[in-house]
Amino acid sequence: MEELKTELKRDVMIPLTTQRKKAEALGISPSNIIFHGPPGTGKTFLAKALATEIGLPFVKLSGGDVQSKWINESSQKVKALFEEAKAVAEEAGGAVVFFDELDSVLKDRGAGQAHEEDTKVVNEFLNRLENTGKHNIVFIGSTNRLESLDEAGIRSGRIDKKIHIGIPGCDARASILQAQLADRPHRLSEDQIRTIAERTNEMTAADLASLVDDAARNSLFRKGEAKITEEDVQQALID
């Protein structure tokens, strides 16, 4: 995902880190982002990795953390989230807010079935997203259903980047496998990892992580060993 990493470095990392003063002088603020694509493709992982690279406080929420059956409570939770992020950003020089399942709260108000409370939540989001750049807050939303989001909420000025995270290609799968194996004892060569990557077409990042977990279990429970082999991975593919 070299192109994606370059894009994130240009639009988010540099304005908040090495070139912050120059970016401020040029009127450049870090971009808010939506990662969209199929489940399990690594959207949450990318958000966490981005926050780690920037070195800023990171908070992760989902629709269930905000939704409430009580009148006005959901919109108040959104308000509290951004107020807290603002306070943290003032102290730490910035903050990253990651919201998973964004479609559960930033619902399309033009769908004809929007509930009054849903509309209040969307309106609160719109107001808050307008001002994230002023406070060095990076908002990252994640969704499997980009088409379900409110159009006003994802327009430029509120959400500047909409990045599709798809099924990884062969090179990306090999890199993911190497990363998953890096901290585990194993006997897999680069050629063997490449062969496995070629056999795992259509697997997501989550699928590959699960595959390595299963291979580790095979190593321990089938053979009583503490090193993952190609055989363990191939058995996990069969299982």
* pLDDT at residue 237 in the model: 93
- In Å, how far from its chain's centre is CA 212? 21
Q: pLDDT tier at 180 (50, 70, 90 boundaries)?
A: very high
Is the model's pLDDT at 193 over the cut of 80?
yes
C-beta separation of 232 from 218 below 8 A: yes
Residue % of the chain over a pLDDT of 70: 94
Domain locations in the chain as residue ranges:
2-164, 170-238
Q: Beta partners for 186?
A: 228
Judged by average pLDDT, the poorest of 45-49, 71-75, 95-99, 185-189 is 71-75
Q: Which two tokens stand for residue 227?
A: 């090193």
Taking residue 4's Cβ as centre, other Cβ atoms within 10 Å add up to 14
For the domain made up of 2-164, the CATH class stated in words is alpha beta
152/169: higher pLDDT: 169
70-103: b (≥16 Cβ within 10 Å) or e: eeeebbbbbbebbeebbebbeeeebbbbbbbbbb
CA atoms within 13 A on the CB side of 95: 20
Tens-digit pLDDT profile for residues 62-75: 877 776 655 567 88
Residue 51: closest CA among 21, 19, 96 = 96
Q: What is the pLDDT of residue 31?
A: 82
Give residue 113's pLDDT: 54
Q: Tell me which residue has tokens 């190497």.
A: 178
Terminal-to-terminal C-alpha distance of the chain: 29
Grouping H, G, I as helix, E, B as strand and the rest as coil, residue 112 is coil
167 vs 169: CA distance, rounded Å: 7
Q: What is the mean pLDDT of residues 27-43?
A: 85
pLDDT at 154 > cutoff 60: yes
So what CATH class is 170-238? mainly alpha
Q: What was the pLDDT predicted at 110?
A: 67
Higher pLDDT, 173 or 27: 173
Q: What is the pLDDT of residues 115-131, one digit of tens each?
A: 676 788 888 888 888 88
Quick check: 29 and 134 in contact, CB under 8 A?
A: yes
